[in-house]
A and B are shown apart, each in its own frame.
Chain A
Amino acid sequence: MQFIPLLVILPLGAAFFISLAGKNKNKLCDIFSVIITFFLFALSLFFVFTTHNYTGALVYKVGGWGMPGGITLVLDGLSIFMLTIVNFIAFMVNIFSVNYMNRFSAKDKFYALFMLMVGGMNGVVITGDIFNLFVFYEIASIASYALVAFGTEKEELEASLKYTIIGVVGSLCILLAIAFLYAYTSTLNMANIASAIAQNGINSVIAFVSVLFIAGFGIKSAIVPFHAWLPDAHPAAPAPISAMLSGIFIKSLGIYTLCRIFYNVFGMNSGISQLFMFLGALSIIVGGLLALGQNDIKRLLGYSSVSQVGYIILGLGIGSPLAITGALLHLFNHSAFKSLLFLNSGAIEYATGTRDLEKLGGLRTKMPTTSATSLAASMSISGIPPFAGFFSKLLIIAACIKSGYVGYGILAIVGAILTISYILKFQKYTFFGQLKEINKNIREVPIFMKSSMIALSIICIFGAVLMMPKIADYFLKPAQESLTRGMKYSDLVTQALYEK
């Protein structure tokens, strides 16, 4: 409980320290940042194991100030779930970058921005104050704009500019929404906003604010009408950053904020629920169809992210406990297999120097580790039974049919078939078939890149154990309960504040 602010202090302090002292000291930066991300991961595991039988929330008063005026940090099931995913993927990506980022100069700047991004994402997840959420959201976003442009070639700068402009429009939507909300409820604390809305009911102000929030956070979570930045930004960024963006950035800044606000602050209603389901199904189909036509590995995977995020939004839209469990499990699985696939694409680029599917082929014999780990991720993403991705898709489709939305269920199945087809295309053109003459002399990637890929592939294979009854109590169930609890979030936070 005392350690909650460390989740923000450590990465921010590390970012400033690296930019202060890390110049031309690549070894020091590597060791220091790996230690920090490992510590963050250990800290979030500590929260998982200490709070699993505690039904309430942990509240920390920043500066000792209480609820209406001060900023509170709130840890409940959903926050801990997201924190663990964010810090685990950040740790893996950090290990991968130790070798991979040697292709670029200015490694210290990379780590400083990376740490800022991790700090911003942790902050978004643990804060209980809506303006503080916006501040952390901007810290993470601005760091990501710079990281997308890290290669500073023409293509990267163009993608970063496009991403920045779209992202800033989203941020302005959110800022405007927060201003309206503050004028309407005279408070910025999310628990207080929730109780004010519960008293006054839903009216046109809340409806307008909801639209602004869906547009703003929808841009970050890349659901279909708002997805235009993603297929450009992902290929342009260095591979570890693509893995971060797709694996956790669009989830902690987009999906987490959407479900926190619409489940716990505004309360879910049938209109929002219908909209979520429609946007989710649209994302599944459009993302899948667009992914089929791509020849750049990272672009294909980027469109695939749009499609997979659609499943999560669809599950959240249905809103039954089964669907929410499926959506959260799919969120977890997607962060594991999509980060792994992006790291694989980075490894392929590291070894061969290209990402074009037509110039690759037959890499299975030359790069056995990359090939095997990518096969695990591909099986998981396309929903082949023993792998983790099968169970989460099954839960979402079953929940669709159980709640009476058979049409959406069929669209989700069509989406799964599309997923298999573009993943098969990726596998066939990259790892199978004839080895090209120019790729005769390539070698497997260095040890740190291999180890993080292997660790992630183990998660892809055994991810479904999270659903097992005893294990679900620690991780998945608290997260699902904190969403199904809905508007009781406000009472919970108030109670936790006055207990202390």
Chain B
Amino acid sequence: MNQNNGMSLIVKTITRLLVGFILLYGIYIVLHGHISPGGGFAGGFIIALSYILLMLAFGKEEILRKVPQPMISFLESLGALMFLTIAVLGFFGGYFFSNWLPKGIPFKLLSAGTIPISNVALALLEVSLGLFGIFLVLVLLKFTPPKKEK
């Protein structure tokens, strides 16, 4: 790891300790979205914050080497497509967006049919990567405009 990138050693060490917990908390909020307050959007936001913290502490080069920008856009589109696919599967089961999986027992983790899956698609891919992508674009200012060609 290049010591010159990012912030000081103290920040890096603390970040390394904390970021796992933040990520875990985000995943917890997402997975319990259907039985407790929170859900896809809130959890996705926390996950995005953990990525952003990593980037602030270690510098953008370090992160971009591990997760290149095209991959972020790809996964984000995949998340949106997954969410739509779940809704369309409901369309074939009767109604658009209908909850076609067995509902299970209320307040158990594995219950509520398609809602946890939609939450995961929304949070892990769409919201978290979308927000991270926006942050990345703002940070990079690596402006590659679609140029006019005459």
- Chain A contact residues, CB within 8 Å of chain B: 5, 9, 12-13, 16-17, 19-20, 60-64, 103-106, 109, 150-153, 353
Contact = CB atoms under 8 A, between A and B. Distances in A.
A63 B90 contact: yes
A63 B78 CA distance: 23
Contacts of B80: 16
A353 B150 CA distance: 8
The 10 tightest CB contacts between A and B, nearest first, are A152-B145, A106-B146, A5-B96, A63-B97, A20-B77, A64-B95, A16-B81, A105-B146, A19-B77, A16-B80
B73 A5 contact: no
A12 B77 CA distance: 11
B88 interface: yes
Nearest to A149: B145
Contacts of A60: 95-96
Contact of B91 (A9, A19, A20): A9
Contacts of A353: 150
Contacts of B150: 103, 353
Given A20-B77, A109-B146, A63 B88 contact: no
B95 A63 contact: yes
B95 A104 contact: no
Interface of B: 73-74, 77-78, 80-81, 84, 87-88, 90-91, 94-99, 145-150
Contacts of B94: 64
Given A17-B77, A20-B81, A105-B147, 20 more contacts: A5-B96, A9-B84, A9-B91, A13-B81, A16-B77, A16-B80, A16-B84, A20-B77, A20-B78, A60-B95, A60-B96, A63-B95, A64-B95, A103-B148, A103-B150, A104-B146, A151-B148, A152-B145, A153-B148, A353-B150
Contacts of A153: 148
A350 to B, nearest CB: 10
B51 to A, nearest CB: 20
A63 to B, nearest CB: 4
B144 to A, nearest CB: 9
B66 to A, nearest CB: 21
A26 to B, nearest CB: 12
Nearest to B80: A16
B82 to A, nearest CB: 9
A17 B97 contact: no
Nearest to B94: A64
B81 A9 contact: no
Contacts of A20: 74, 77-78, 81
B50 to A, nearest CB: 25
A9 B78 CA distance: 15
Contacts of B77: 16-17, 19-20
B148 A62 contact: no
Contact of A12 (B74, B84, B97): B84
A45 to B, nearest CB: 21
A363 B120 CA distance: 57
